[in-house]
Structure 1
Amino acid sequence: MDKELILLLVCGTVVFLLALVRPAYALTITLGANFFLQPRPQIAGVYVILADAAIVALTLAWIFRSIASERLTFPRTGLELAFGVLAGAYILSAVFAFDHGRALVKTVQLVEWVLLFYLTVNYGRGEKTLRLLVGTLIGVGLFEVALAAYQAARMEDFRRVTGTLGNDLGWYMFMLLLFAMVQFVTYTELKHRLLWAVAGIFFTFGFLLTQVRELWFSLLVALLVLAILEAFIHRRPKRFLRFLGVVAVSGAAGIILLLPKLGPYLVYLENRSLDTLYTRLGQWGSALNIFAAHPWAGIGPGGFGQLWVPFIPETYYSLCVAYGLVGNSEIDAHSFLFTRLAETGLLGTAAAVWVLWRLARRTARVKGLSLPPLAQGIAITARLLAVLALLTLVYSDFFQIKLFWMLVGLGLSCRSFAAGTVRPEAKAANLRPSPHEEGAYNFGC
């Protein structure tokens, strides 16, 4: 028997048995495997098999637990119907796809992520899962930070350093700072000052060195919104100003560490940013041209990288060639929404926007509650995560839909935890579900 098949069976069996006993732990393992292993081609292969095995095992365990408790339910709300329409649009696009095999793989991946999201929402209701997920992300992220920093320290060429830090480090710095914000609004006292200092240094390095600076700009806007809410609505300006002070001081320390090479790098960064903007406009223009040629069902999931070259606008063609984008069959439109337009047409894009909007709106809504101060901060975090999740879908392909799943899943955990802090009598008065929401996310656990 193949070694990879044996490893697949062993991993799946372990996650399956763990999910029957401790669903929160199994979910954390599954999320960690997917968010840290699947997007990384340099460690692909057997690790991707482990991630897929975890998804399958967790799904089977969910079904077995549901049957055992006689609470297995089926989709009956508008959101589940929207997921069905999206899957149907993908399948329709796959029928007319240029490469049927590739389209089938992309469709299966969509189904995997829908299942994983359902499990995240189902198992992620509570403080335990939230802390487990945060701990997993911080632990694996710090290990990767140390490894990438060691590699970058041995390099003299800033272009190679930015490649390492942008691709390997950018994800973890962004998520660590995001979770630092979650911790900030979760705890009433600043007991984790070391975490704030580390987050500030990561933020400085990330803003200067990462190749996905748009996300950092989005986070700055989100921080400003949170500051206004904390200072003027909830009357707690000192705590937030204290947090910003620690970030500013540690950020200044990060800039001092970069001073010897900061000047030449900023010149390089300016030129690189302009070139990146033009190549992105070329990818977006190609996606729009493909959409104009195939408006209804698109060219099939995963087909953009194979057919995008003839549709590149002439203005940006030479720059796309210079950067080696032409000939890369794995490339996309550098935007989740533009990629959907080209690959699934109007039907798939409309279904995707419907699903994503409903998810973000549900994440941001904690209505009819008189929340205590702690829960108010967590509810603010849920709204912040919903806005940030929508922003990432417009202009970034580095995180793609995976970041959206995680942001919304974490936001729903915050929302559920905030609702759980309300007194039982307040819940009885204010939390009677509407006919449209009754039974939503009741997937048998």
Structure 2
Amino acid sequence: MRLNEISIERIHTWAFYLLCGFALFSNISIAIANIFLGTLTALVLFRLWRKHDDWKNALPDGHIGIALLILMGAVILSSCFSTDISRSLRFFGDYYGYRMLALYAVMLMIWEKRQLAFIGVCVGISFFINDLAVIFQGLVQGNYRASGFSIYMSVGGFLSMLLPVLVLLLLSGRLDMRYRILAAVTLVIGCMALLFNGTRGAWLAVPIATFICAAFLIRDRKKLLVGTAIGALIFAGIFAASPALSSRFATIGDTKMQSNSERFLLWTSAAHMFADHPVFGIGFAGFKEAYQGQYILPEAKEPYLEHAHSNVMHMLAECGIIGLAALLFWWWTCLSYGFRTWLATHEIAALLIPAILLGLILQGLTEYNMGNSAVMKLHWLLMGLCLQWLQLNEGARRFSR
């Protein structure tokens, strides 16, 4: 069979299988996940070669699509003012091309809700397996910064996005009983993994993101407050009973702890970069060279850090006020779309968008998770699944315009 004789339907089927494979390894193996994603890249290019008149379907509709293009444009503009333009543009291609490929592929080639749901289940299986490994490392090996098969901070990002999603799915009552039980078990395992992973940013991001989104889901404020209080008491009891957890939690506000003080120094250096380059920043992907070569403070004890440990400060340093404004506009557009669509249609996929994004934003206040390849690949897949689910509903679709 010639390449030009392969049907579009068959290409879409292959894309579905590759997305399932990527989702299945998204939490447990960067290398294997990249094999699926790399193959998917070739398939997307082949799909566009075979049929390219619908290429716009790969992008979100309406205001969300516009906000995304504005963000990309701001990053490209910043790259043009970089001291190493080619490097900045290469990183742009990685961050907004390859790492976002799952979103493009889902929106271009996955047109059945059953397939969207199955890809989501594969993500859940991957999450569950890695969380079991995290718990084993914590309980058996006494590792309170456990990472399972992944990397410590990556697991914090996974937990920050997926735990609020699981809570909302369970509270919504939209799951069948068999899936509800599996989701509940996965949630409990995930909460245990959250404790043993020890990512302080995730400890704060998960409850805050969950509470904000649950406030839109649960109309009875008394039930919301009682449920929140019960959850807080359970975790407070666990922290009180574990000296290792309580001492780790106490460091959140300890400005003298090196991890915290080093962040303040990084943010100060990032502010200096912004002061010198306020409009376009030092150039996308230029933080490492600028920090280590010019802006590192004499008090810094870790001279080889590569990012600002904050999405906001990192964007401000690299892309200036133009980049930060575009990023904030992107966040606001997604959050407002998700909340407005939920209030109008009560489609749970709409409420999952702010849950996923708030988890990323809140953990990213003290960590540059937007630069974490594994976290962002999963983030874009999750966003693509939710957006495409809503795109298939005409009632929800109009709110993106």
TM-score (normalised: structure 1): 0.67
- Is 1:162 the counterpart of 2:137 in the alignment? no
Contact 1:37 1:51 in 2 (8 A): no
Matched, 1:27 2:19: yes
Letter in 2 for 1:287: A
Sequence identity percentage: 19
On the 8 A contact 1:363/1:415 being kept in 2, the answer is no
Q: What does 1:114-193 align with in structure 2 at a 5 Å threshold?
A: 114-123=100-109, 127-153=113-139, 155-156=141-142, 160-162=143-145, 164=147, 166-167=152-153, 169-184=155-170, 185=172, 187=174, 191=178, 192-193=180-181
> 1:300 corresponds to which residue?
283
CA distance change for structure 1 residues 338 and 81 in 2, over 3 Å: closer, same or farther?
same
Contact 1:382 1:411 in 2 (8 A): yes
| 1:196 paired to 2:184 | yes
Residue 221 of structure 1: CA displacement?
2.6
Decide which moves more: 353-362 or 161-170.
Answer: 161-170
Distance (whole Å) between structure 1 residues aligned to residue 349 and residue 123 of structure 2: 19
1:283 aligned counterpart, secondary structure:
helix
Any gaps of 5 or more consecutive residues in structure 1? 1-15, 39-43, 421-426, 438-445
Residue number among 177, 196, 216 corresponding to 2:203 in the alignment: 216
Match of 1:353 among 307, 310, 328: 328
Match of 1:267 in 2: 247
Tell me which structure has the larger Cα radius of gyration.
1
Residue number in structure 2 paired with 1:103: 88
Separation in 1 of the partners of 2:218 and 2:335?
Answer: 25
How far apart, in 2, do the equivalents of 1:131 and 1:170 lie? 24
Q: 1:123 to 1:400 in 2, by over 3 A?
A: farther
1:286/1:297 CA distance change after superposition, 3 Å: same
Closer, same or farther in 2 for the Cα pair 1:138/1:194, shift >3 Å? closer
Q: Which moved more, 1:137-146 or 1:281-290?
A: 137-146
CA-CA distance at 1:289 after TM superposition: 0.6
Report the Cα distance in structure 1 between the residues aligned to 2:314 and 2:338, rounded to whole angstroms. Answer: 25
Note closer, same or farther for the CA distance 1:413–1:189 as it changes in structure 2 (3 Å cut): same
How far does residue 93 in structure 1 lie from its aligned partner after superposition?
A: 3.3
- Higher relative contact order at CA 8 Å, sep ≥6: structure 1 or structure 2? 2
- Amino acid corresponding to residue 211 of structure 2 in structure 1: L
Q: Which residue identity lines up with residue 270 of structure 1 in the other structure?
A: A
CA-CA distance at 1:368 after TM superposition: 9.1
Counterpart AA for 2:283: G
Q: Is the 8 A contact 1:134 1:179 kept in 2?
A: no
Q: Which runs of 5+ in 2 are unaligned?
A: 1-7
Structure 2 CA distance for aligned equivalents of residues 153 and 90 of structure 1: 44
Question: Is this contact kept in 1: 2:132–2:189, CA < 8 A?
Answer: no
In the TM superposition, what are the counterparts of 1:26-425 in structure 2 within 5 Å? 26-30=18-22, 37-38=29-30, 47=32, 50=35, 52-64=37-49, 66-67=51-52, 71-73=54-56, 79-100=64-85, 102-109=87-94, 110-123=96-109, 127-153=113-139, 155-156=141-142, 160-162=143-145, 164=147, 166-167=152-153, 169-184=155-170, 185=172, 187=174, 191=178, 192-193=180-181, 195-206=183-194, 208-232=195-219, 237=223, 255=238, 259=241, 262-271=242-251, 274=254, 275=257, 276-309=259-292, 310-312=294-296, 318=299, 320-321=300-301, 325-328=302-305, 331-366=306-341, 369=344, 371=345, 375=346, 377-398=348-369, 400=371, 402=376, 404-413=379-388, 415-416=390-391, 419=393
Structure 1 counterpart of 2:5: none
The structural deviation recorded for 1:53 is 1.5
Shift of the 433–78 alpha-carbon distance from structure 1 to 2, 3 Å rule, reads: closer
Shift of 1:137: 1.6
What is the Cα deviation at residue 117 of structure 1? 3.0
Distance 1:198 1:84, change over 3 A: closer
Specify the code of the residue in structure 2 equivalent to 1:342.
A
Partners of 2:97 and 2:247 in 1: CA distance: 44
Amino acid across the alignment from 2:130: E
Indicate the SS of the match to 1:308.
helix
For residues 350 and 237 of structure 1, do their structure 2 counterparts lie closer, same or farther at Cα, with a shift above 3 Å needed?
closer
Mark the CA change 1:390 to 1:364 in structure 2 (over 3 Å): closer, same or farther: farther
Cα offsets for 1:276-324 (capped at 9, x unmatched)? 33222222111111111122332222221222144345xxx53x41xxx
